[in-house]
Chains A and B, each alone.
Chain A
Amino acid sequence: MAAISRAVDLIRGNLITIIIVLVFGASGGGGPSFLWVFIGLFVFLLVAGTAGWWRFVYRVEDGELQIKQGIFVRKHLYLTRDRVQVIDVTAGIIQRMFGLVKVEIKTAGSSSREASLSAVTKSEARYLTSLLRGNGIQEEAAEELEPEYEEKYFLPGKELLIAASTSGSFGIALSILATIFSQVEPLISETEMYEWFIRYIPSDTDLFFIISIILVFVIFAWLMSFFGTLIRFGDFSLTIKPEEMVITRGIFEKKRITVPFNRIQAVRVVEGIMRQPLGYATIYVESAGYGDQQGSGSVVLMPLIKKSEIRPLIRKILPEYDFNTEPLRPPKRAVTRYIIRSSFVLAFIILGIYWFLDAPSMIWIFMIPGVFWGWLRHRDAAVGIDLDRIMIRSRMLSLSTAFVRRNRAQDVTSSASWIQRYRNLANLEVSVASGDQGRSFNVQELDEEDARHILPWISKLYQLQVGETFPISATE
Chain B
Amino acid sequence: MKKDPTRKITPRAIRAWQWSAAFSNLIYFFIPLLYATFFGYDEGFHFWIVIGMAVAIFILWLMGIVLFPYLRWKKWRYSIDENEIDLKRGILVVQRTLIPLSRVQHVDTRQGPILRAYGLATVTISTAATTHEIPALDEFTADKVRDTISKFARLAEEDV
Write the residues of chain A forming the contact surface with B, with a CB cutoff of 8 angstroms.
288, 407, 409-418, 421, 431-434, 437-440, 452-453, 455-456, 458-461
By the criterion CB–CB under 8 Å, are A455 and B159 in contact? no
Given known pairs A456-B2, A460-B83, A461-B83, the reply for A410 and B127 (CB within 8 Å) is: yes
Residues of A within 8 A of B83 (CB): 459-461
Evaluate contact between B130 and A415: CB separation under 8 angstroms: no
A-B interface contact total, Cβ < 8 Å:
79
Chain B, Cβ-Cβ closest to A430: B129
**B94/A431 in contact, CB under 8 A:** no
Is the pair A415, B90 in contact by a Cβ cutoff of 8 Å?
A: yes
Closest to A453 in B: B1
A431 touching B2 in the complex, CB below 8 Å, given contacts A411-B97, A455-B98, A460-B83: no
Contact B95–A410 (Cβ < 8 Å): no
- The answer to whether A456 and B98 have CB atoms under 8 Å apart is yes
Docked CA distance A438–B99 (Å): 14
Complex: how many Å from CA A33 to CA B102? 62
* Contact present for A418 and B129 (CB under 8 Å): no
Q: What's the minimum C-beta distance from B33 to chain A, rounded to whole angstroms?
A: 27
Contact in complex: B129, A433 (CB < 8 Å): yes
Given contacts A407-B159, A458-B100, A459-B2, contact A415 B94 (CB under 8 A): yes
Interface string of B126-138 (1 = CB under 8 A from A): 0111101000000
The answer to whether the Cβ of B117 comes within 8 Å of any Cβ in the partner chain is no
Are A434 and B92 in contact, with the CB atoms below 8 A?
A: no
Once the chains bind, are B97 and A413 in contact (CB under 8 Å)? Answer: yes
Q: List 6 tightest A-B contacts by C-beta distance, closest first.
A: A438-B129, A433-B128, A410-B127, A410-B129, A431-B129, A456-B2
Other-chain residue from B95, B127, B159 in contact with A460 (beta carbon distance below 8 A)? B159
Chain A residues near B159 (CB-CB < 8 A): 407, 460
Q: How far is the CA of A441 from the CA of B84 in the complex (A)?
A: 20
Fill in one digit per residue for B114-125: 1 if any A CB lies within 8 Å of its CB, else 0.
000000000000
The smallest C-beta distance from A330 to any residue of chain B, in angstroms, reads 18
Extra contacts, 6 of them, besides A410-B130, A417-B94 (Cβ < 8 A), are: A409-B103, A415-B95, A418-B93, A431-B129, A431-B130, A440-B129
Cβ contacts A to B, 19 pairs, < 8 Å: A288-B128, A407-B160, A410-B128, A411-B97, A411-B98, A411-B127, A411-B132, A413-B96, A416-B94, A417-B92, A417-B94, A418-B93, A431-B129, A431-B130, A438-B130, A453-B1, A456-B98, A458-B84, A458-B100
Give the distance to chain A from B154, nearest Cβ to Cβ, in Å.
16
Min CB gap B1→A, angstroms: 6
CB distance from B155 to the nearest CB of A (A): 12
Q: Which residues of chain B come closer than 8 Å to A431, judged between CB atoms?
A: 127, 129-130
Name the A residues within 8 Å of B100 (CB-CB): 411, 458-460
A417 to B83, CA, bound (A): 28
Complex contacts, A288 vs chain B, CB 8 Å: 128
Question: Smallest CB–CB gap between A31 and chain B, Å?
Answer: 37
Whether A418 lies near B1 (C-beta < 8 A) is: no
B93–A416 touching, CB < 8 Å: yes
Q: Is the CB of A418 within 8 A of B96?
A: no
- Report B-chain residues with C-beta under 8 Å of the C-beta of A458: 84, 98, 100
Please, how many angstroms separate the alpha-carbon atoms of A411 and B97 in the complex?
7
* A411 lies within 8 A of B130 (CB): yes
> What is the CA–CA distance of A459 and B102 in the complex, to the nearest angstrom?
10
Within 8 A of A (CB), among B24-60: none
Q: How far is the CA of A461 from the CA of B81 in the complex (A)?
A: 12
Identify the interface centre among B94, B158, B160: most chain A CB within 10 Å of its CB.
B94
User: What A residues does B98 contact at CB under 8 A?
Assistant: 411-413, 455-456, 458-459
Q: Are B84 and A459 in contact (CB under 8 A)?
A: yes
Query: What residues on B are CB-neighbors of A417 within 8 Å?
Result: 92-94
Smallest CB separation, A402 vs chain B (Å): 13
Are A415 and B96 interface neighbours, CB within 8 A?
yes
**Chain A residue nearest in CB terms to B82:** A460
- A432's nearest neighbour on chain B, judged by CB, is B129
Complex Cα distance, B132 from A437, in Å, reads: 14
Query: What residue in chain B is nearest A471 (Cβ atoms)?
Result: B1
Which chain A positions have C-beta within 8 A of B160?
Answer: 407
Q: A410 — which chain B residues lie within 8 A by C-beta?
A: 99, 103, 127-130
Closest to A433 in B: B128
Bound Cα distance from A430 to B158, whole angstroms = 19
Q: Given the complex of chains A and B, what is the CA–CA distance between A388 and B130 in angstroms? A: 21
Closest residue of chain B to A416 (Cβ to Cβ) is B94
Question: Within the assembled complex, what's the spacing in Å between the Cα atoms of A461 and B2?
Answer: 10
- Closest B residue to A288 by CB, please name it: B128
Instruction: Tell me, in angstroms, the Cα distance from A433 to B104 when the chains sit together.
Output: 12
Known: A431-B129, A438-B128, A458-B100. Contact between A413 and B1, CB under 8 A? no
Interface centre among B1, B92, B102, B129 (most CB of A within 10 A): B129
Min CB–CB distance A385 → chain B (angstroms): 14
B83 and chain A: residue at smallest CB distance: A460
